[in-house]
């Protein structure tokens, strides 16, 4: 029993336990739904990791926005900012990226693509800044403001693809596709995997280094751990740190949108995101807000989504169950965390086990 508690007390052990709990629960749902579990598991494997194509063009392509937006959520949560508006910030980023990309249609890739991504990050950051200002100036709970801004962003995209940015025939609610030079290059020949995945990994490493090794990163973690304590040191301007976390989080979410439209869809339409901003919360929590672990958690969920699509195709299991898994992972992490607190208290009270 003690050894189990000890495993649960380690961060990664708890995450693995939560993921396993979720997978077992999902297997239960699949069996209860009357599906053939063996058939479903095979389809899941084939869709996510059974071949090079399913891994590189399925799992990793789907993991890319999850990792980048997962980083956005992790950075915000680390500072104690409950940004649940990554979805809206992603949409703002996607819209700005497409607008910039269409305006630069005959420019060189070397100039166009970085400018597109910068536009996406700036727009995502600006969208988050609204909630940041509302919090800083007026004390508005970011939970409510970011939620409202998600809706406004969605209606904004809906307007853009039926108005100023609509393709010229006016038949479809979408923009023209980006020119070849305005797209992210594919990084493995014959696969759909694009440069965005490499960017996701680079940004994860950068975020990890930033949070762990810089003074600004330390201030973010200090504010997240206890704003009052951080303020009482007299060396941390809590308002500034929190606002900075909004901007950084929004920029990352905007980058997620930018990478998705330049690497996968090549155009803007309303349903550009199947809820990446919400799935990213599961990613960030499963990773315990550790940016390097976000890569692993993102690939895990990317695999589930790719495998889920395979299961729907081959075994008839509805792909909506991926949301069930994500929800159960979140609840599992929360419950295991709670168990760790209780277990930690129990171990601390037992004198004989203190040394362990």
Partner 1 sequence: MSDGAFSAFLESGVRFATPLAYAALGELAVERAGVINIGLEGAIIGGAFGALVFAGAGSVPLGFAGAALIGTLIAAVFGLFVITLRTNQIITGTAMSMLGLGLTGTLYRSMYGTAGASLHTPTIAPFAIPGLSAIPFVGPALFNQPFVTYALYAIVPAMAWWFYRSTGGLALRATGERPEAARGAGISPERVQWGAILFGGAMGGISGGTLVLAQVGTFAEGMSAGRGFIAIAIVVLGRWTPWGVAGAAFVFGAASSLQTLAQTTGWAMPYQLPLAFPYVLTLVLLASSRARAAAPAALGQELI
Q: Which residues bind partner 1 (CB under 8 A)?
A: 29, 33-35, 82, 84, 130, 134, 137-141, 143-145, 147-152, 155-156, 158-159, 162-163, 275, 278, 281-282, 285, 316-318, 320-328, 330-331, 334-335, 337-338
Minimum CB–partner distance for residue 170 and partner 1 (Å): 14
Beta bridge partners of 174: 269
Nearer to partner 1, 50 or 173 (CB): 173
Nearer to partner 1, 45 or 323 (CB): 323
To partner 1, the closest distance from the beta carbon of 39 in angstroms equals 14
In the complex, what is the shortest distance from the CB of residue 288 to partner 1, in angstroms, rounded to a whole number? 13
Smaller CB distance to partner 1: residue 158 or 191? 158
Sequence-distant (≥ 6) Cβ neighbours of residue 177 within 8 angstroms: 266, 267
Contacting residues for 88 by C-beta, under 8 A, at least 6 apart? 127, 146, 149, 150, 151, 152, 153, 154, 277
Do 297 and 286 contact (CB within 8 A), yes or no?
yes
> Whole-number minimum distance, CB 172 to partner 1, in Å?
17
Q: In DSSP terms, which residues pair with 186 in a beta bridge?
A: 194
Distances (CA, A) of 180 to 102, 103, 105, 175: 11, 13, 8, 15
In this complex, which beta carbon is closest to partner 1, that of residue 87 or of residue 116?
87
Nearer to partner 1, 178 or 285 (CB): 285
Q: Which of 25, 29, 267, 52 is nearest to 165 (CA)?
A: 267
Sign of CA dihedral 52, 285, 184, 88: positive
Among 291, 267, 287, residue whose Cα is nearest residue 279: 287
- Least distance to partner 1 from the beta carbon of 317, Å? 8
| Least Å from the CB of residue 306 to partner 1 | 17
Q: What is the nearest approach in angstroms of partner 1 to the Cβ of residue 180?
A: 31
Compare residues 103 and 143 and give the one whose CB is closer to partner 1: 143
* Cβ atoms of 302 and 326 closer than 8 Å: no
Angle at 214 between CA 213 and CA 219, to 5 degrees: 115
Q: Which residues of 109-119 are buried (b: 16+ CB within 10 A; e: fewer)?
A: beebbebbbbb
Name the 3-class secondary structure at 119. Answer: helix
Tell the smallest beta-carbon distance from residue 324 to partner 1 (Å).
Answer: 4
CB burial of 21-49 (b: ≥16 within 10 Å; e: otherwise) equals bbeebbeeebeeeebeeeebebbbbbbbb
Return the number of the residue (143 or 356) whose C-beta is nearest partner 1: 143
C-beta closer to partner 1: residue 115 or 147: 147
């Amino acid at each position: 029993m003690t050894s189990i508690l000890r495993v649960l007390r380690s961060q990664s052990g708890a995450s693995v336990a939560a993921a396993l709990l979720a997978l077992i629960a999902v297997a239960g749902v699949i069996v209860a739904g009357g599906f053939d579990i063996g058939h479903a598991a095979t389809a899941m494997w084939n869709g996510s990791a059974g071949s090079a194509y399913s891994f590189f063009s399925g799992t990793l392509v789907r993991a890319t926005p999850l990792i980048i937006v997962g980083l956005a959520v992790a950075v915000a949560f680390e500072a104690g900012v409950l940004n649940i508006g990554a979805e809206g910030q992603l949409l703002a980023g996607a819209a700005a990226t497409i607008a910039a990309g269409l305006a630069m249609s005959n420019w060189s890739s070397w100039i166009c693509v970085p400018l597109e991504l910068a536009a996406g990050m700036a727009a995502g950051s600006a969208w988050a800044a609204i909630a940041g200002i509302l919090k800083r100036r007026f004390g508005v709970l970011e939970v409510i403001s970011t939620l409202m801004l998600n809706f406004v962003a969605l209606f904004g995209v809906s307007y853009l693809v039926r108005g100023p940015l609509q393709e010229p025939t006016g038949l479809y609610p979408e923009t023209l596709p980006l020119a070849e030079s305005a797209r992210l290059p594919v990084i493995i020949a014959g696969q759909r995997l694009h440069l965005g995945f490499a960017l996701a990994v680079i940004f994860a490493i950068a975020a990890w280094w930033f949070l762990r090794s810089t003074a600004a990163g330390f201030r973010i973690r200090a504010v997240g751990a206890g704003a009052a304590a951080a303020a009482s040191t007299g060396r941390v301007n809590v308002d500034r740190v929190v606002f900075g976390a909004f901007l950084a989080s929004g920029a990352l979410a905007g980058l997620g949108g930018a990478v998705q439209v330049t690497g996968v869809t090549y155009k803007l339409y309303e349903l550009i995101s199947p809820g990446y901003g919400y799935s990213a919360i599961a990613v960030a929590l499963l990773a315990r807000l550790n940016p390097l672990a976000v890569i692993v958690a993102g690939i895990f969920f990317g695999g589930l989504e790719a495998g889920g699509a395979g299961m729907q195709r081959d075994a008839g299991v509805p792909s909506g169950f991926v949301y069930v898994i994500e929800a159960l992972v979140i609840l599992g992490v929360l419950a295991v965390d709670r168990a760790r607190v209780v277990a930690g208290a129990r171990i601390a009270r037992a004198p004989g086990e203190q040394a362990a």
